[in-house]
Structure 1
Amino acid sequence: MVTTKLKGFILTRRWWDTPTGTDIEYWLATDAGPLKVLLSAQTSVAFVETRFRAAVEAQLASLPGLQLRELDLKTFQQNPVVGVYAKQFRQLGQLARKLQPQNIALLEADVRPHERYLMERFITAGVSVEAGADGTRLRPEPDYRPVLKVASLDIETSENGELYSIALDGMAQRVVFMLGEPAPEPNGPAQALDFALIYLPTRKAMIESLNDWFERNDPDVIIGWSVIQFDLRVLQKTADACGTALLLGRERQPTEWRTHPGKQGYLFAPTPGRIVIDGIEALRAAAWSFPSFSLESVSQALLGEGKAIGDEYDKMAEINRRYRDDKPALAVYNIRDCELVLRIFEKAQLLQFVMERAHTTGLAADHFGGSIAAFSHHYLPRMHRMGYVAPSVGDIQSKAYPGGYVMDSKPGFYDSVVVLDYKSLYPSIIRTYCVDPVGHAEGQHASDPSAQIKGPGGTLFSRTKHCLPEIVTTLSRSRDEAKRVKNEPLSQTLKLLMNSFAGVLGASECRFFNPELVSAVTLRGHEIVKRTQVFVENRGYEAIYGDTDSIFIWLGRTHTNTEAHAVAAELVRDINAWWTRTLREEQGLENFLEIEFDTHYAKFFMPTIRGSDVGSKKRYAGLSTDAAGKEEMVFRGLEMARSDWTLLARQFQEGLLSRIFHGQPYREFVTDYARATLAGAKDDLLIYRKRLRHRLDAYLVNVPPQVRAARMADDYNLRVGRPMQYQNGGWIQYVMTTNGPEPLENRPSRVDYEHYLNKQLKPIADAILQPMGDSFAALVSSQRALF
C-alpha cells in the first residue's frame, strides 16, 4: 500500500477506552475539507519509582493488561523508575488510587492519551497525516495554516430564557430561525432582508433545523458572544425540554458538556469536529482590555458602532415587542449580533490569534488560560529525552517567594524622563542563567563545580543539561521572525507563552512548582534592575522609579526630543555591552539580557501615596513624545485609567494634568470644574460602575455602597414586577445622593455634590497640586461664595 500524506490543523481531540485499548480521535481542517483521524488501541503509560515495584506488581492481577518495563529514566531525586503500561487509560487512575494509601506516587498518570500522543511527537496544532500499510501516523507540520470556515451564532430569548430565534452568519446560507408564524402582509411592501428568515412552529423544529443547518453548511468554527455560557447553554436546555437532541458536532455528534472544577456554574462545550470560541474569552486571552466586555461596548470601542436598543429593561421590553408584533425586526436585530461578532473577530484578528496560540502552546484551539498545560506540553517530552520523569503536583509544599522588584519612587514633576525596558526579562534570565527544573536537579547533584551555575539563595544549575533555556530560545527566535514578517497574532502568542513560564514555576498547582526555581528568576530580576540603576547613576543621571523590568531615568534637565532619544540610545548600547562583558567575566555566561528604549516623557508626574510624603508605586502619568514628536498622554494606575472611578474624576484628572504638562494656567480650570459640578452641569459624569463579586446575601458586615445600591435596585425591580438583576453578582451603576448610594433604576433623592467634590475631585487635585505648593481647598474655598 502506498503511503499518502495530508496536512491538517487539529480542530478537536478526544479519547475513550475500548476493550482493545484506548482510541484517540482528532478532527482536522485540511485543504481537502474536514478529516477525522482515529488512532485505535493505543497504550497509555505512567511511571513509578523502581523501589516500589513489588507494591505495583501486587496490583497487576486485579488490573489485567498492565505491564512493567525497565526504562532508563529517573526522578529529580535521582531515583530510577519503571514504566507502567496500560491497555486502557483509566486503569492508570485505578492503580494510582490503589497505591495512594501506601504513599506511592504513580507519576504522570494524569497526562491524558490524546495530549501525550501529541506532545511526545512534538506536535502542537499542525500535522502531517501519513496513512500506510502499518497504520496512520501524525507528524508535526508547524507551518500549516488552513482557511477555516466560521459560523457566528446568536440567539434571542425572553427574560425567562425561552427561545425566540436563532441567527447564523458567516457561511453561504445566512439565516434566522424564528419561532411562530409570519404576520399578515402589511399594506406596504415587506422589508427586504439579506438573509433567510425561516418560521418554525415549535422549538423542537428550531433545534432540528439548526442541526440540519450545521450538517449542511459544516463550519469548522462556531463563534459568538458568551456563546457557551449563554447561547449554547440555552439551546441545550431547550433541546432537552423538547425531548430532542442538540447535534452541532460533525457526524451529528452532541456537545460533550463539562463543568469547570474551579468555577461554579462555568461550562466547557467540547463539540466534535468544531472549535467553539467565545469572543469575550478570546479577547481576554489576547490581552485586550475594555471597561466592559458587553458586545455593545466592545463594538463601539473597536468598530465605532453598535446596536443598542436601550438599557437592560428597555432592551428586553423591545425584544418582547418585536417578537410579538414585528418578527422581521427581531430577526434583523438577532443577526446584527452575528455580524458584529464576525467583524470584531476580523478587526482584532482573533481567529488568527486562536490558531497561532494553538500552534504555539499545543493546547486545543478553544482552550484559553492553560499556561501550566502549555508548559507541560513543551517540557515533558524534552525532559524524558534528558532521562527524567515529571514529579506529581504537591510534591513540594507551597510557600511564599519574592515577586518582581519595584523600586521606591521619587515623587514629583519632571522634565525629560526616559524609560528603558528589558525585553522579555524573565525568559531572558531563564536563557542566560539556565534556570530549569532538570538543570536544577543536575546542578544540585553535579560533582564538578565548573559544571554548575550559581543562582540566588544557594541554588545551582547545570551549564549543559537543561530543557527550558532551549525551549525559550526557540520561542524567542520564532517571535523575532514573527515580528519581522509582521505576524502580530503569532508574535503576541509567543510573548504571552514565554512570559508565563516563570509564573508556572511559581504555581503550586503545577507539577514543576518549586519556590527555589521561581525565586532564582525573580531575585535575579531584582539584581538586574538594581545594577542597572547603579550603571545609570554612575553616568550622572537619576533613576526615579523601576518596576520589574523597567527603569525610569530623569535626565536632570530639559532635553529636546531628539536629545532625549539620543541619550536613551547611548544608554541602551552601553548597558547591553556592559552586561555581555560582565556576565562573561563573572560566570562565563552568554548574555541574552537586552534592554531597549521604551518611552520618552517630555513631562512626567509621580504622585505620593495618598496622605503621606512617600512616593507611590505603579502609579504615574506622563506626556510621551515619540521620535516624530507626536504627543500622547499616558496614565498608569491613576484614577484616569481605572473604570471604578467616575468619569467626573477621570476627566478632571486628565484635564488638570494636561494643563500642567503643557504649561497652561490650571487654577481657573479647577474652580470652574468644581463650580460646574455643584451647578449640576456634569451630572452625566457622576455615575459609579462597580462589580458585585459575590451574591448579595453574602455581604453581612461592612456593606459597600455598590451592594447597598444593588439591594435598592432589586427591591425596586421586585415592586414593579421586573426580574431581579443583582442577586448573584454582576455590575451595578449608581449615584451618590444625600441619602446614600442610589441605583440608576431608582433615584428618588438629590445628588450629594459635596461627596463628589470631597471624595472624587479633592484627592486627585491634592495629589497633583501638592508638589506645586497648592491645594484644592485653597483654590475652591476662596470661590465657594461665588458658586
Structure 2
Amino acid sequence: MPPTLAPTDLQGFILTRHWRDGPDGTELEFWLATEDGPKKVVLTQQISVAFMPARHLAAARAPLAALQGLEVKELGLKTFEQEPIVGIYVRRFRDLGKLARALQPLGIALYEADVRPHDRYLMERFITAGVVVRGGQHQGSTITDGRLTPTPSWRPMLKVVSLDIETSATGDLYSIALDSAGDRVVLMWGETPVDAAAPVDFRLQYCPSHQEMIEQLNAWFALQNPDVIIGWNVIQFDLRVLQKTADAVAVPLLLGREGRPIAWRTHPGRQGYLFAPMPGRLVIDGIEALRAGMWSFPSFSLEAVSQELLGEGKDIGDAYDKMAEIERRYREDKPALARYNIRDCALVLRIFDKLELLQFVLERAQTTGLQADRFGGSIAAFSHHYLPRMHRLGYVAPNVGDIAAKAFPGGYVMDSTPGFYDCVVVLDYKSLYPSIIRTFLVDPVGLAEGANANANANASVDAQTGLVRGPQGTLFSREKHGLPGIVTTLSLARDDAKRARNQPLSQALKLLMNSFAGVLGASECRFFNPKLVSAVTLRGHEVMKLTRAFVEQRGYQVIYGDTDSIFIWLKRAHPNEEAHAIAADLVQRINAWWTRKLREEEQLENFLEIEFDTHYAKFFMPTIRGSDVGSKKRYAGLSVDASGKEAMVYRGLEMARSDWTPLARQFQEGLLLRIFRGEPYRAYIADYVQAMLAGQMDALLVYRKRLRHRLDAYQVNVPPQVRAARLADAHNARLNRPQQYQRGGWIHYVMTVSGPEPLEARRARIDHNHYLIKQLKPIADAILQPLGESFLTLMTAQEVLF
C-alpha cells in the first residue's frame, strides 16, 4: 500500500546519488524527480560502518586508535562461520578503506567496508528508487536532513532531451542537436550566412566559435533543465567529443544540475570505456538500454535499429558517403546538415517511445535498487536486496575472494536426437532457477545455518528435520533464509505486472530474478560459493531428467532439452488443436506430479511450474557438422499457434547467425521451408546453385564480420576479415580519407579469386566456387543427410556442376 503522506511529505524518484567526506562526517546527496520539479536532498553527518571479528579487537588496537571519532559496538551479528563480530563505526567513509588496508598485514578481515555510504543508506531502508522525503529543512530546491522512506509505486514524469552531434572526419565539432519537448535546436559552428533560411520545425543557431557553442550548450541545459539525456553511443562518442572540445577552448562543460561538470570515470574492466555521471541528470545510451533489456539486433547501429523498428533511417549512405556528405553539407548547405543532425535525435526518441525504453529503465531502477542509468550491475542489485535481509537474520557478508574460484556445473543440456519430425511440442519451466531457489530454499544464510546445525548435532535425525537436503551434501535451513523470500516477492510482483500488462516492469523483474543464480556463481560477488550455485544448477539437472522420464513413461519421446525447456515428439502427426490439447494435458499432469511428490517426499511447497511454449508441426534437429551426433542449441521448426498461424523459427542455425552470408541464410530458409511443406526441393537446390554460379546473386555474397581487436594486433593468425580490412584502409590512405578499421569495427567483404576483398576496394572477380563449397554445400548436407541424400550426389545427378 502507498505510504500515508503528511502535508509536508514529498514523493520522489531517485535520479542520481553521491557521497563525499567532510570534516563533520559523510554527506549524502540524492537528486530526485518530483511533482514539484527536481529536488536535491542532502543528508549530513552520516556514519559509516564495517564489521570485524570480535576476537581480533586486541590485535587491531593500534590501527583502530589511529582513527578519529571511532566507535566499536557489539551487535549480535556473526559471520557465516559463526564467528561473533563487532561493528566499527566511523565518521568518514574513507577511513574504513584505510582501516582495511592497515588490518590486512595482520591477517584481520574487515567485512562490508566497501559498501558505499549512499548505497548502505538506501538498502538498509529497503529503498530502491521511489522515496518519500519526510521533514528536513527546505530551502529552494534543496532539502537538508530529511528522512527517506520507500514508496515502490510512484513514478515520475521526466523531461527528456535527445542529444546528437556531427563532426568532421578529424573529430572537429560541427553541430550539436538537442530535441526536447520544450525546445528543438541545432547549434552550428560557423558564422551566420547572409542568406540563411531558418528551418521550419527547429531553431538553427550559428556559433562563430567552439567556445560559444559550449557556452550556448551550457545555457540551454541551465534553461531547459532536463532530467534525462538520451542518445546513441552518447557517452562514448557525443559527450566525449563535447568534453574534448570544451577542454580545447578552456570552457567548462557544465551539463549537470547547478551548473556542475561531468564526473568522468573509467570502467575498471573495459579499457577505454567511460562513465559520465553528472549531478541530477540521467544519461541513458540507447544501445546499452537495449542490451540491458535483452533486445537483440544483427547490428546496434542507429541506422540498423531504426530501419528494423521504424521502417526508416538516415538519409546518407555508407560510412564513406556519410562522411563525405557531412563535409559537403557543412561547407555548402549547413541547414541540410542541421536537419540530418536533428533527425538522428528524433529517431532515438521514437525508438525509446516504441520500445518503452525509458519506462523499462525506470522500472529496472525500482526493481534493482541501482541508479537508473547504471546498466549491468547484477551483483550490486543482488547485494542491494540481500544485505539488509541477511543482517536482520544475524549475519554479515563475506568479502570478495573469501572462497577461491572453482568450476561448477552449468545448465543441463540433453543430447539431441537429430532428424526431421512431425508434431513436436516444447514445454518450458517458468523461471526455473528462481523457482528452484524458492522451492528448495537455496540461500547463503540457509547454507550457513544448515552447516552449523549439522556440525552441532553430529548429523542426528532430530537436527535434520529442520533442514532441506541439497546436491553434493549441502543442507539448507527450512526456517532461516532470505533469498527465497526475495524471489517470492519479485515473482508475485511479476505476476501482478503481467496482469496489468506492464511489460517494462515484467521484463525488469524477470531479468533480476534470473540473474540470481548467475550472481552466486560469479567470483566477483561476495556471496560466490560453488556449493550454492551447484545447489541450483544440479537441481535443475534433476528436474529435467525426472521430467523426461515422466514424459516418456506416457509413450512420447523427448528428443532434446536445454536448461529449462524440453522438446517432446508426439510420435505421429496430430491436428494442431489436438497437439495443443496433448501439451496442455502434459503440463497439468507434470505440475500436479511435482506438487504431490515434493509435499509427500520432502515436505516442501512446490513452486516449479512448467508451461506450454510451442507446437512445431514440422521440426528439424541437425547433427554436428561432419558427424552423426545430434547438435545442441541448433534447430528449426514450423510453429503453429492455437489460432493456426504459422511461423518459421530458427535457433543457432546459419539463418539466425550474422557471420554467414545472406546467400546462405536465404538458401537455408528456402530449403527447409520446402521440405517442411512437402514441396519439391531438389529443383530448388539446382536452380539456386545455377543462379549463384551465373552471378545472379552477387548482392547476397557479402560477409559482414566484426574486428574485435586493433588491426595491428593480428600477427600470426590473420582471418579473412582482417585481410579485407587492411586492404580497405590501404585504399583509404591512397584516397586521403580516414582509415576506418585501425581500431576494429565491422567490415563488409567478398571472397574473390585473389582472396578476401572489401566492397569499397574490390578488384578481382568473385570466387563463386568458394560460396558453393563453403556456404551452400555445408548447409545442404546438414539438411539432406537425414533424408539419405547429399549435396554432391544431387548436384551430379542434376548436372549442375558440369
SS in structure 1 of the partner of residue 146 of structure 2 = strand
* TM-fit CA distance, 1:193: 2.3
Alignment match of 2:328 (pick from 321, 329, 341): 321
Tell me whether 587-596 or 129-138 shows the greater mean CA deviation: 129-138
Tell me whether 466-475 or 771-780 shows the greater mean CA deviation: 771-780
* TM-fit CA distance, 1:777: 1.0
Counterpart CA distance in 1 for 2:145 and 2:165 is: 44
SS in structure 1 of the partner of residue 105 of structure 2 = helix
* TM-fit CA distance, 1:180: 0.6
Counterpart CA distance in 2 for 1:156 and 1:46 is: 48
Specify the alignment match of 1:23 in structure 2: 27
Specify the alignment match of 2:664 in structure 1: 649
| Equivalent residues of 1:3, 1:132 under 8 A apart | no
Alpha-carbon displacement from aligned partner over 1:78-137 (angstroms, at most 9, x marks no partner): 000000101100000000111111221110000001100000000000000001589410
Alpha-carbon displacement from aligned partner over 1:294-336 (angstroms, at most 9, x marks no partner): 0000000110100141111110011011111101000000000
* TM-fit CA distance, 1:600: 0.2
Alignment match of 1:233 (pick from 225, 240, 245): 240
Specify the alignment match of 1:147 in structure 2: 157
| Equivalent residues of 1:482, 1:490 under 8 A apart | yes
Specify the alignment match of 1:45 in structure 2: 49
| Amino acid corresponding to residue 174 of structure 2 in structure 1 | Y
User: Where do residues 517-536 of structure 1 align in structure 2 (5 Å cutoff)?
Assistant: 517-536=532-551
User: Is 1:379 aligned with 2:386?
Assistant: yes
Specify the alignment match of 1:503 in structure 2: 518
| Amino acid corresponding to residue 39 of structure 2 in structure 1 | L
| Equivalent residues of 2:315, 2:340 under 8 A apart | no
Specify the alignment match of 1:345 in structure 2: 352
| Equivalent residues of 1:605, 1:620 under 8 A apart | yes
* TM-fit CA distance, 1:785: 5.4
| Amino acid corresponding to residue 720 of structure 2 in structure 1 | P
Counterpart CA distance in 2 for 1:290 and 1:114 is: 36
Specify the alignment match of 1:8 in structure 2: 12
* TM-fit CA distance, 1:61: 2.9
Counterpart CA distance in 1 for 2:199 and 2:504 is: 38
Specify the alignment match of 1:551 in structure 2: 566
| Amino acid corresponding to residue 296 of structure 1 in structure 2 | E
| Amino acid corresponding to residue 508 of structure 2 in structure 1 | T
Counterpart CA distance in 2 for 1:320 and 1:234 is: 17
Alignment match of 2:364 (pick from 350, 357, 366): 357
| Equivalent residues of 2:15, 2:31 under 8 A apart | yes
Specify the alignment match of 1:276 in structure 2: 283
User: Where do residues 52-91 of structure 1 align in structure 2 (5 Å cutoff)?
Assistant: 52-91=56-95
User: Is 1:731 aligned with 2:731?
Assistant: no
Specify the alignment match of 1:156 in structure 2: 166
SS in structure 2 of the partner of residue 13 of structure 1 = strand
* TM-fit CA distance, 1:182: 2.9
Counterpart CA distance in 1 for 2:397 and 2:102 is: 20
| Equivalent residues of 2:693, 2:768 under 8 A apart | yes
Specify the alignment match of 1:425 in structure 2: 432
Alpha-carbon displacement from aligned partner over 1:342-396 (angstroms, at most 9, x marks no partner): 0000011100000000000000000000000000000000000000000000000
SS in structure 2 of the partner of residue 517 of structure 1 = helix
Specify the alignment match of 1:102 in structure 2: 106
| Amino acid corresponding to residue 399 of structure 1 in structure 2 | K
Tell me whether 66-75 or 403-412 shows the greater mean CA deviation: 66-75
Alpha-carbon displacement from aligned partner over 1:147-177 (angstroms, at most 9, x marks no partner): 1000000001001111011000023111000
Counterpart CA distance in 1 for 2:799 and 2:148 is: 77
Alpha-carbon displacement from aligned partner over 1:156-214 (angstroms, at most 9, x marks no partner): 1001111011000023111000111233328xxx4642001001111010001000100
Specify the alignment match of 2:3 in structure 1: none
SS in structure 1 of the partner of residue 300 of structure 2 = coil
| Amino acid corresponding to residue 501 of structure 2 in structure 1 | K
Specify the alignment match of 1:561 in structure 2: 576
Specify the alignment match of 2:209 in structure 1: 202
* TM-fit CA distance, 1:69: 0.9
* TM-fit CA distance, 1:59: 1.3
SS in structure 1 of the partner of residue 77 of structure 2 = strand
User: Is 1:461 aligned with 2:476?
Assistant: yes
| Equivalent residues of 1:3, 1:130 under 8 A apart | no
Specify the alignment match of 2:260 in structure 1: 253
| Amino acid corresponding to residue 165 of structure 1 in structure 2 | S
Alignment match of 2:779 (pick from 764, 773, 777): 764
Q: CA RMSD in A?
A: 1.2
* TM-fit CA distance, 1:775: 1.4
Counterpart CA distance in 1 for 2:101 and 2:746 is: 44
SS in structure 2 of the partner of residue 23 of structure 1 = strand
* TM-fit CA distance, 1:729: 1.3
Provide the identity percentage: 72
| Equivalent residues of 2:28, 2:44 under 8 A apart | yes
Specify the alignment match of 2:715 in structure 1: 700
SS in structure 2 of the partner of residue 413 of structure 1 = strand
Counterpart CA distance in 2 for 1:749 and 1:325 is: 37
* TM-fit CA distance, 1:782: 3.2
Tell me the TM-score normalized by structure 2. Answer: 0.97
| Equivalent residues of 1:4, 1:132 under 8 A apart | no
User: Is 1:710 aligned with 2:725?
Assistant: yes
Specify the alignment match of 1:615 in structure 2: 630
| Equivalent residues of 2:26, 2:91 under 8 A apart | yes
| Amino acid corresponding to residue 341 of structure 1 in structure 2 | V
Alpha-carbon displacement from aligned partner over 1:216-236 (angstroms, at most 9, x marks no partner): 001000000000000000000
* TM-fit CA distance, 1:769: 0.6
User: Is 1:332 aligned with 2:336?
Assistant: no
* TM-fit CA distance, 1:430: 0.2
* TM-fit CA distance, 1:783: 3.6
* TM-fit CA distance, 1:736: 0.6
Counterpart CA distance in 1 for 2:66 and 2:79 is: 27
Counterpart CA distance in 2 for 1:770 and 1:502 is: 39
| Amino acid corresponding to residue 110 of structure 1 in structure 2 | D
Tell me whether 12-21 or 739-748 shows the greater mean CA deviation: 739-748
Counterpart CA distance in 2 for 1:432 and 1:637 is: 32
| Equivalent residues of 1:248, 1:255 under 8 A apart | yes
Structure 1 residues 475 and 786: CA distance shift in structure 2, 3 A: closer
| Equivalent residues of 2:401, 2:524 under 8 A apart | yes
Alignment match of 2:176 (pick from 166, 178, 188): 166
After the TM superposition, which parts of structure 1 deviate over 2 Å for at least 4 consecutive aligned residues? 132-135, 190-193, 781-787
Counterpart CA distance in 2 for 1:714 and 1:90 is: 49
Alpha-carbon displacement from aligned partner over 1:507-551 (angstroms, at most 9, x marks no partner): 000000000000000000000000000000000000000000010
| Amino acid corresponding to residue 389 of structure 2 in structure 1 | R
User: Is 1:587 aligned with 2:602?
Assistant: yes
Structure 1 residues 785 and 526: CA distance shift in structure 2, 3 A: closer
Aligned length: 783
Specify the alignment match of 2:129 in structure 1: 125
Counterpart CA distance in 1 for 2:688 and 2:372 is: 50
| Amino acid corresponding to residue 63 of structure 1 in structure 2 | L
User: Is 1:665 aligned with 2:669?
Assistant: no
| Amino acid corresponding to residue 687 of structure 2 in structure 1 | D
* TM-fit CA distance, 1:55: 2.8
Counterpart CA distance in 1 for 2:484 and 2:64 is: 40
Counterpart CA distance in 2 for 1:48 and 1:320 is: 63
User: Is 1:539 aligned with 2:554?
Assistant: yes
Alignment match of 1:288 (pick from 272, 295, 302): 295
Tell me whether 531-540 or 704-713 shows the greater mean CA deviation: 704-713
Structure 1 residues 785 and 124: CA distance shift in structure 2, 3 A: closer
Tell me whether 614-623 or 3-12 shows the greater mean CA deviation: 3-12
* TM-fit CA distance, 1:733: 1.0
Counterpart CA distance in 2 for 1:268 and 1:135 is: 29
Counterpart CA distance in 1 for 2:136 and 2:383 is: 31
Alignment match of 1:311 (pick from 302, 318, 339): 318
| Amino acid corresponding to residue 625 of structure 1 in structure 2 | V
SS in structure 2 of the partner of residue 4 of structure 1 = coil
Alignment match of 1:682 (pick from 691, 697, 702): 697
